Structure 1
């Protein structure tokens, strides 16, 4: 997932053994890639937009179902 803008970042999310891990990108072709702008990511994480609205603001390559968890993210920002 990457957000673009000044807070841009790219992360690899991997599922293994019933758990998810978040890490720096690794070599190879991902099964899915999700790109979301920073404003949409911020609003999604703080529930300023619904997951359905966030879905209209993203670009997905690859296996769409694998990205579904990203729309359910909630963060507490202090």
Structure 2
């Protein structure tokens, strides 16, 4: 968690194979799955990232995915800071 002036950023990283750069935007569409041998074994219907983005945007934030140079993927969620 990284505090910023007007927002809070939360980054979650994995050590998977990453996502081809030209497909990163696609995986936020409902029922979208990248076909790999790994996801055929683990299942899923392709709703996780679509639901996550919807929830985060409803809270006034955003979610972004980036491939990490050392491998894997980083998901960064930014949310507005609540004013006290």
- Shared fold (TM-score, shorter chain, > 0.5): no
Place the TM-score, normalised by the shorter chain, in its bin. under 0.3
TM-score by length of 2: 0.22
Normalised TM-score (structure 1) = 0.22
Structure number, greater radius of gyration: 2
